[in-house]
Amino acid sequence: MTIFTPAQIRRIARWLLVAVSIYFVGWLISHASSAITPFVFGGVLAYLFLPLVNFFERWMPRWLAILAVYLLTFGTVVAAIAFVIPPLIAQIAELIRALPDIATIQREANRLLDEYEQLLASLPPAIQSEVQSAIASATSEGLGTLRANFVNYLQGIGQFLINSVLSVVNTVTFLLGFFLVPFWLFYVLMDQRTGRDYLNRLIHPRLRADFWAMISIIDYDLSGYLRGQLILGTSVGLAAWIGLTALNMAGMKIPYTVLLAVVAGVTELVPVIGPIIGAIPAILLGLADSPTTAL
């Protein structure tokens, strides 16, 4: 006497296979994240590219539509590199040059040390003795801790070297994965309908309508959110650059306009506090000129 019919056994085996596959994917992600990350990035690109590919497929073969999307993306990236990256790098370098150098920091540290010694000398002898005793005790305790943990420090250095080697290997794997992503992405986009049909066969006929309705709702909300965030970040960055450029033309002399615009556009993607974080650098630089500029 059989407990399950052949159809039920096949269904159970199918779902067991799905569960094992999900477990294997989770294990693979946790143990090979550097190699998997490029393909996760490729999956996000496939999700973003798919509507464009389907749109262009109305007038050309699918493989040509994919190449058209590739060329459009490549052109956008090249334009961004040509018009945004050079001034951005120049302004970052200018900001680094404007920061205090090591000699300035050392002079400031010496000045603070002199002020401390003068303050200590102005105190009564009893208080001077207590302060010096506390400093000596803290120094001695710190040196004792350093000696006690010297072996741990050496082990830490060895672990750091091992991690550095592993980091190099992971970086090479990561870059190799990104090199393969365009080719992998091409076949994912080409076989999208085949994958959909295969997934459709895995689902029981009575559940297919509900499953694809749920997927459609998720796709509509998620794609709308991603497109909205992309448009929002780009619009805020562009508006910030236009506004800062207009202020400079009005004679307010605000530096790092491109850098501030990029910061504003990127931080706009952070929910709630992103706009506040993005506004802080611009306000601080404006205060360096005048309160009116900051406003």
Residue type, 282: A
The whole-chain average pLDDT of the chain stands at 71
Mean pLDDT calculated for residue range 168-177: 60
Domain ranges for the chain: 204-295
Cβ proximity of 174 and 35 under 8 Å: yes
- What lies within 8 Å, CB to CB, of 236 at 6+ separation is 264, 265, 268, 275, 278
pLDDT confidence of residue 160: 56
Residue 48, pLDDT score: 79
What is the reported pLDDT for 108? 66
> 211 pLDDT exceeds 70?
yes
Confidence category of residue 216, pLDDT binned at 50, 70, 90: confident
- Give the relative orientation of helices 33-56 and 62-83 as an angle to the nearest 10 degrees: 110
Percent of the chain residues past pLDDT 90, beyond the cut: 0
- Which of residues 185 and 71 earns the better pLDDT score? 71
pLDDT at 126: 66
For tokens 């990256």, the residue is 85
Rg (CA), the chain: 30
- Contact (CB, 8 A) for 226 and 48: yes
Mean pLDDT of the region 252-256: 70
d(CA 263, CA 269): 10
Name the maximum alpha-carbon separation found in the chain: 100
- Taking only the tens place, the pLDDT of each residue in 113-132 is 777 667 766 666 766 677 66
CA distance 87 to 89: 5
What is the rounded CA–CA span in Å between residue 24 and residue 230?
33
pLDDT digits (tens, 9 = 90+) for 13-25: 777 877 887 777 7
- HSE-up of residue 259 (Cα within 13 Å, Cβ side): 17
Closest by Cα among 295, 260, 255, 254 to 278:
260
| pLDDT for residue 258 is more than 80 | no
Supply the pLDDT for residue 41: 74
- What would the pLDDT profile of 37-70 be if each residue is shown by its tens digit? 777 777 777 777 877 887 888 888 888 888 888 8
pTM: 0.51
Distance CA 193, CA 200 (A): 10
Question: Is the predicted pLDDT of residue 217 greater than 70, yes or no?
Answer: yes
Assigned token pair, 175: 């870059």
DSSP string, 45-61: HHHHHHHHHHHHTTTS-
Between residues 175 and 279, which one has the greater pLDDT?
Answer: 279
Q: How many of the other CB atoms lie within 10 Å of CB of 292?
A: 9
- The pLDDT of 199-208, averaged and rounded, is 74
User: Which two tokens mark 136?
Assistant: 């000596």
Query: pLDDT band at residue 1, thresholds of 50, 70 and 90?
Result: very low
CB neighbours of residue 51 within 10 Å: 13
The secondary structure of residue 272, as a DSSP letter, is T
